[in-house]
Amino acid sequence: MRNKIAAGNWKMHNTLAESISLAKQIALVKIPEDTKVILGVPYVFIRDVQDAVRGSQVLVAAQNCHEKLTGAFTGEVSASMLSSMGVEYVILGHSERREYYAESDALLAEKTNIALSQGIKVIFCCGESLPVRESSQHVAFVKKQLENGLFHVSADQMDKIIIAYEPIWAIGTGVTASKEQAQEMHQEIRTMLAQKYGQSLADKTAILYGGSVKPDNAKELFAQPDVDGGLVGGASLKAADFTAIIQA
């Protein structure tokens, strides 16, 4: 009933030539019918990557946007700029943005609103740190992130949201959440969605897992009933690995 989604998060990697080459390789991949592929690309390469994947089913996401539509914010990029380029998605609330750029739930709520107002769909990230997990507070922690950053949106807007659960202790560490840990949290998130927006919207909303997704663990993670695909960092930078993940 829900499509599978393989989303890459390229972060701050690769040159222009490498990005174009990677995008072209991904554009050639035979994508399963029920699967959507999204590339999260650095701002400066978005136009070139759009050109590289044109004619394929690959979609392009930005990795961030500013919370205001326009103004004197040197060095920043607005959702209206992204929208004017035909960008379909934006990744918001990644733990690296929360940690290194002090992005709060309140700020992420603003960014979510501004992106949606410009017709850009949001991949909204959440996830707990290791100490939170070890004290068994992970579900409550994620619930708070979603309540404070995302659950103010209307049901119509929630239709434009993909949630990505990314436990911080699994990002870039090679330690993946077990399929049971992923399924537990994804099921909890779906229950939160059902409580807030009703079961049918909860059943429609894609919830991705992120954190050291690799070709050899993607299949069992994505086979979990509430795991609708992945947000993939490191492995999305290698065409062969990301291809295997798309096909998982």
Alpha-helical runs (H) found in 163-235: 179-197, 199-204, 215-222
Touching ligand PGA, residues 207-226 (CB under 6 A):
210-213
Please identify which residue in 61, 153, 158, 171 interacts with ligand PGA, judged by CB under 6 A: 171
Span near ligand PGA by CB under 6 A; candidates 18-26, 140-148, 191-199, 229-237: 229-237
Residues from 1 through 60 that contact ligand PGA (CB under 6 A): 9
Residues contacting residue 199 through CB under 8 Å, at least 6 positions apart: none
Whether 88 is catalytic: no
Q: For the chain, give me the number of helices (H) and strands (E)? A: 12, 8
Q: How far apart are the two ends of the chain, measured CA to CA in Å?
A: 17
Scanning 53-61, 103-111, 166-174, 191-199 for contacts with ligand PGA by CB under 6 A, the matching segment is: 166-174
> Which is it for the CA torsion 21, 24, 28, 33, positive or negative?
positive
Among 93, 149, 167, 234, binds ligand PGA (CB under 6 A): 234
Which range touches ligand PGA (CB under 6 A), out of 81-89, 127-135, 186-194, 204-212?
204-212
Any contact of residue 244 with ligand PGA (CB under 6 A)? Answer: no
- Contact predicate 8/241, CB 8 Å: no
Q: Is 18 a catalytic residue?
A: no
Check: CB of residue 168 under 8 Å from CB of residue 129. Answer: yes
Q: By CB under 6 A, is residue 172 in contact with ligand PGA?
A: yes
Query: Which residues of this protein are in contact with ligand PGA, per CB under 6 A?
Result: 9, 166, 171-172, 210-213, 231-235
Which of the residues are catalytic?
94, 166
